[in-house]
Structure 1
Amino acid sequence: MDAVLYVPIANEFNSLPRAEWIINGYLITTTALQPIYGKVSDIVGRAPAMVTASVLLLVGSVVSATAHSMNVLILSRAIQGLGSAGMYAMVNIVIADLYSERVRGRFMGIASGAWSLASSGAVVLGGVIVQYSTWRVAFWINVPICIIAAITVLSIMRLPTPSGSLRDKVKRIDFGGSLLSLLAMVLILLALSWGGRDYSWRSATVVCCLVFGTLVLLLFIAYEHRIPLEPIVPLHLLRTRNVALSFIAHLFLGAITYAQLMFIPQWSLVVKNSTPITSGLYTIPFTLSEFVAVVATGLWVTRTGRYRECVWLGSLMLLSGLTPMILLDRDSGLGYIVGFQVIAGVGFGLCIQTLILTAQASAAGRDSASVTSVCLFMRSLGAILVVAVLSSVNGNLLKREFASITKAYPEYASDIAQVFANQSLIHRLNLPPELFDSLVNAFMKGMRAAFTALIPFSVLYVLIVVWIEKRPLQKTKKVTIE
């Protein structure tokens, strides 16, 4: 839904250059908190972690729905991210608690399939909301969902509970590592989000965030290695081949799958002059094909125990489905868009859960939550990385193109500046046909450059997963929480 909403929201606030922060603010907190949720839930229990996540998501949604400035909206989206971090992580962690690795694939597939269907519906719903109501409704919808989720966890679900008194549990929590991890990730993610757009990559702000973020990250690694009895990220996991490969592969998986969900609705709105509903429909082929693939993959893995082949095939299909997007233009037909999105969607469905299972199958039961949350953290980190890189590529090219167009049409400098700040105006202002074509072509060049920059991410993903070694899936359930 974010992909459909963020441009209309930014247009209402006349702040398109800051539009990415509606997404980035959410992604930064979601990413930074995921590893913490995993380990903390090992200590305090799954139910308290899930309820806390539901409450934070509810608060963030209410503040988003009532926001009357871009600053408040960005802040509230960050609060939403604090809750979503737990929701994302805990689903797969709980499945690992309840089922053996061999059976787990089926339920992971069903969970991801439900997420895919929800994503498909959310994109269309977002378009309907924007076209016929106000974007604020999209945030109000979360409120009853969060309440129902919290009640369900507390009254219906029977989740494993760790032993020990509250005082003992508090002593086990790695507060120092949590603080260092959160600080390091926020600094680094801010640098990636600001670089090339809000500030130059060489600016003091970006350089300081990168330098201090890296230093704090190194301090975190040293601290985790020596101090806590139960570190947030057990560093011994990195010595296991499949776990380490899965962590790295998730970084690139998040990068290559998020980009098209961001740019295709934008292409539809700006280049095709589509309605918000139609722009949302353009992403449906990806999410629906992902749904079919992830459910079928889960059943296949449960039946055969083979998951490596799914990751390999999925990586090749992602490369085959996303690379042709560099040829996307004003005349691209529906078949072109649908066909390659289906290929990419199937590829993503083949990988999204099997790559997590790859790491879980190679780790001890007590490390299951940490492994799962770090995998999701790396996927979210990849999404932020690609938003930073591709938005920088797209934005810098647009700046050059718009500067050149302004020189060619100086009498329309004011209109051109307005279009740069609010893309929807390109179809509302009374522009000469030649100028209109130049502006549309500029947007197309920016998106094409972004998709071209995505190709190395797809290639690296293929090269990483090919080294995954075969590890059997256990038929007996591991003890995941003590």
Structure 2
Amino acid sequence: MASIAAKTSGPAEVPAGENDNQQNGEQRATGHMHGWALATLTLAFMSVCFVLALDNTILATAIPQITSDFQSLNDIGWYGSSYLIAQMALLPTCGRFYAFYNIKWVYCISLVVFELGSVISAVAPNSMTLIIGRAVSGMGAAGLVSGTTTILSYCVALKMQAKLSPFIMGMFSIGSAVGPLVGGAITDSAVLTWRFVFWINLPFGAVGLALIWFTLRNPPPAVQGGLPWQQKIRQLDIPGATILLGATSCLNLALQWGGIVYPWSDPRVFGCLIGFGLLMASFLGLQVRGKESATVPLHIFRSRTVSASCGFMMLVQVAIVLQSYFWPIYFQSVRNTTARESGINLLPSIVSNSLGTICAGWFSSTFGHYVPLMWIGAPVLAAGGGLFQLIRPDSQRGQWIGFQILAGFGYGMCSQMPILAVQVVLKKVDIPTGLVMVMFVQMLGGALAPSVGQNIFTDGLLRSLGEIQGIDAAAVVEAGGRGFREIVPPQLMDAVIDAFNSALRKVFWVGLATPALAAIVSWAIEWRRLPDPKSQSTEASATEVSEKSAN
């Protein structure tokens, strides 16, 4: 990076010019940023993380009101899945843009696309347009996520990444914490309404855009920028990304419709499952045929650490996404709180998540170990998910606060460790691909979680409502998470609320099962330590010297 800071003076016995040459050689060898350049890069990524976090959580407390306005309770899963499916399917392709084209322009264009999706969502006249807007935002987020991890992997040493992670993820946690509060206050406002939760992204995105533009004034050249444009297009594997997008959409439709809108035996549901299978087979065929130019280079999965890290990340992500989308349903539908109050009630989970991330970053950077944090964090997350089964409409505040703290802290402890694990075991040339794969499966888990949760929730709700005499179950579901109180007779209200609570407990079983499985998967990850940046610098310099001697 051209803006890497150099020391102003060296040892007295070393001439200034020689000292500069030595430092330049170290910079070329390690590619690590220091000083002011590192600080500004971290600040830029913190600003972008804040925007992404705000967008993720600000919507959660607005969803019940959105479902009531659009009469779209069956679309709950799509509000999150459309964003995550687009992000997940395009993540590998967007990652390759950074190898072929100017990283500053790719990053900034991604941020603009993300903001365009926010505008579409803000003016959406119906549920379908809102879903499309969320998908456009997901496309931009794919470029932001892949760019952040790729730039960090080349510019920041692993141990320094572990130290910076609490600050970057801390800003993500701040955005996550502020999101529900701001989203709830905006949703409850008769003047702003829930639409302003998307408009508010624009000023923050503008700040992030300015910071990135300033920080990457002199970006390094694209590592494969010299390739012919025909070869670049071929290696982007756009057909593979398109097929993957179609496959995940078919699976999502099947999970949304099956047993709820249509029977599982209905041709539309069964056809989606068949379409998913055929498209996935085609996608895998393209990956095998494309080899290194494929969207998902299969050779990196020969490492058991990479495979296990990907599986671990996907499983814990399913658990945390389910919690973030369905706890607001509990607060607003079961406990009849406002959107603002439900945002406040989510703070224990968000704050404990941040604390877990900070503790994990300190431990891994100090002792160099990251595997034990996965062994501990996943069971703690599972324990929190298991305790969610105890929630009732009249549960004491201390109960659900404690449950959220336990689950949030567990996720914070382990969620960043797979990102470190793949960088330790892979060669430097494969690190960007490995990071993108971890992010890829994380998005896959996040994309499927709302649909799985919605299917379980709606199915359980319809079954429970069907047992209540005098209740039109379909009308209650159509009324939305808050609107049902306007159509349910007062004498039946408690029974309907119990039905919502029972359906939510069924969803939270997934929050126990997936992290428990992740804990088992984590035992397949190799026991390694984070390398010392000083030893990395020495080895890299020695390699460069030997190469010069050989020449």
The aligned residue for residue 236 of structure 2 is 174
Which digits, 9 at most, give the CA deviation of each residue in 1:259-308, with x for residues without a partner?
11111111110111111111111211111111122122212211211111
Report if the CA contact (8 A) 2:382-2:511 is conserved: no
Question: Would you say 1:148 and 2:210 are equivalent positions?
Answer: no
The aligned residue for residue 23 of structure 1 is 80
- The offset of 1:170, in angstroms, is 5.0
TM-score (norm 2): 0.81
Match of 1:241 among 292, 297, 304: 304
- The offset of 1:18, in angstroms, is 2.3
| Mapped partners of 2:248, 2:459: distance in 1 | 25
Q: What is the identity, as a one-letter code, of the residue corresponding to 1:137?
A: F
| Mapped partners of 1:89, 1:164: distance in 2 | 17
Report if the CA contact (8 A) 1:31-1:381 is conserved: yes
The aligned residue for residue 138 of structure 1 is 197
The aligned residue for residue 401 of structure 1 is 464
Match of 1:93 among 142, 150, 160: 150
TM-score (norm 1): 0.92
| Mapped partners of 1:299, 1:169: distance in 2 | 44
Q: Cα–Cα, structure 1 residues 401 and 358, in superposed 2: closer, same or farther, change >3 Å?
A: same
Q: What is the identity, as a one-letter code, of the residue corresponding to 2:204?
A: I
- The offset of 1:139, in angstroms, is 0.6
The aligned residue for residue 382 of structure 2 is 319
| Mapped partners of 1:278, 1:289: distance in 2 | 18
Between 1:126-135 and 1:177-186, the stretch displaced more is 177-186
Residues 87-126 of structure 1 correspond to what in structure 2 (within 5 A)? 87-126=144-183
The aligned residue for residue 65 of structure 2 is 8
The aligned residue for residue 109 of structure 2 is 52
Q: Cα–Cα, structure 1 residues 353 and 329, in superposed 2: closer, same or farther, change >3 Å?
A: same
Q: What is the identity, as a one-letter code, of the residue corresponding to 1:136?
A: R
Report if the CA contact (8 A) 1:47-1:154 is conserved: yes
Between 1:361-370 and 1:452-461, the stretch displaced more is 452-461
Q: What is the identity, as a one-letter code, of the residue corresponding to 2:202?
A: V
Q: Cα–Cα, structure 1 residues 163 and 252, in superposed 2: closer, same or farther, change >3 Å?
A: closer
| Mapped partners of 1:106, 1:191: distance in 2 | 42
Residues 425-440 of structure 1 correspond to what in structure 2 (within 5 A)? 425-429=483-487, 431-433=489-491, 435-440=492-497
Between 1:151-160 and 1:356-365, the stretch displaced more is 151-160
Between 1:234-243 and 1:92-101, the stretch displaced more is 92-101
- Kindly, what percent of the aligned residue pairs are identical? 26
Report if the CA contact (8 A) 2:308-2:525 is conserved: yes
| Mapped partners of 1:22, 1:268: distance in 2 | 19
Q: Cα–Cα, structure 1 residues 197 and 374, in superposed 2: closer, same or farther, change >3 Å?
A: farther
Q: What is the identity, as a one-letter code, of the residue corresponding to 2:430?
A: D
Question: Would you say 1:34 and 2:112 are equivalent positions?
Answer: no
The aligned residue for residue 161 of structure 1 is 221
- The offset of 1:164, in angstroms, is 5.4
| Mapped partners of 2:264, 2:221: distance in 1 | 47
| Mapped partners of 1:45, 1:203: distance in 2 | 48
Q: What is the identity, as a one-letter code, of the residue corresponding to 1:135?
A: W
| Mapped partners of 1:290, 1:242: distance in 2 | 24
- The offset of 1:316, in angstroms, is 1.5
- The offset of 1:185, in angstroms, is 3.3
The aligned residue for residue 417 of structure 1 is 475
| Mapped partners of 1:419, 1:167: distance in 2 | 54
Which digits, 9 at most, give the CA deviation of each residue in 1:128-176, with x for residues without a partner?
1011231111111111222332332233225433245566255133334
Which digits, 9 at most, give the CA deviation of each residue in 1:182-225, with x for residues without a partner?
33333334433443434433332333333233333233223223
| Mapped partners of 1:77, 1:427: distance in 2 | 28
Which digits, 9 at most, give the CA deviation of each residue in 1:344-376, with x for residues without a partner?
111111112112111221112122222112212
Instruction: Give 1 or 2 for the bigger CA radius of gyration.
Output: 2
| Mapped partners of 1:222, 1:430: distance in 2 | 52
Which digits, 9 at most, give the CA deviation of each residue in 1:393-413, with x for residues without a partner?
2111211222222xx22xx64
| Mapped partners of 1:448, 1:36: distance in 2 | 38
Residues 367-382 of structure 1 correspond to what in structure 2 (within 5 A)? 367-382=430-445
Residues 328-367 of structure 1 correspond to what in structure 2 (within 5 A)? 328-367=391-430
- The offset of 1:104, in angstroms, is 1.5
- The offset of 1:317, in angstroms, is 0.9
The aligned residue for residue 278 of structure 1 is 341
Give the 3-state SS of the residue equivalent to 1:94 in structure 2: helix
Report if the CA contact (8 A) 1:394-1:446 is conserved: yes
Once superposed, what is the RMSD of the aligned Cα atoms?
2.3
Between 1:274-283 and 1:221-230, the stretch displaced more is 221-230
Q: What is the identity, as a one-letter code, of the residue corresponding to 1:423?
A: G
Q: Cα–Cα, structure 1 residues 235 and 229, in superposed 2: closer, same or farther, change >3 Å?
A: closer
Say how many residue pairs are matched.
473
Structure 1: state its 5+ residue gaps. none
Residues 222-233 of structure 1 correspond to what in structure 2 (within 5 A)? 222-227=285-290, 229-233=292-296
| Mapped partners of 1:318, 1:185: distance in 2 | 27
The aligned residue for residue 267 of structure 1 is 330
Report if the CA contact (8 A) 1:184-1:214 is conserved: yes
| Mapped partners of 1:295, 1:334: distance in 2 | 26
Q: Cα–Cα, structure 1 residues 201 and 378, in superposed 2: closer, same or farther, change >3 Å?
A: farther
Q: What is the identity, as a one-letter code, of the residue corresponding to 1:85?
A: A
The aligned residue for residue 521 of structure 2 is 464
Report if the CA contact (8 A) 2:99-2:225 is conserved: no
| Mapped partners of 2:290, 2:472: distance in 1 | 60
Which digits, 9 at most, give the CA deviation of each residue in 1:95-137, with x for residues without a partner?
2121122222112232212111110101110001011231111
| Mapped partners of 2:285, 2:354: distance in 1 | 41
Question: Would you say 1:297 and 2:297 are equivalent positions?
Answer: no
| Mapped partners of 1:263, 1:164: distance in 2 | 44
Q: Cα–Cα, structure 1 residues 335 and 472, in superposed 2: closer, same or farther, change >3 Å?
A: same
The aligned residue for residue 38 of structure 2 is none
Q: What is the identity, as a one-letter code, of the residue corresponding to 1:145?
A: F
| Mapped partners of 1:192, 1:17: distance in 2 | 11
Report if the CA contact (8 A) 2:252-2:451 is conserved: no
Report if the CA contact (8 A) 1:193-1:384 is conserved: no
- The offset of 1:177, in angstroms, is 3.2
| Mapped partners of 1:196, 1:159: distance in 2 | 52
Give the 3-state SS of the residue equivalent to 1:422 in structure 2: helix
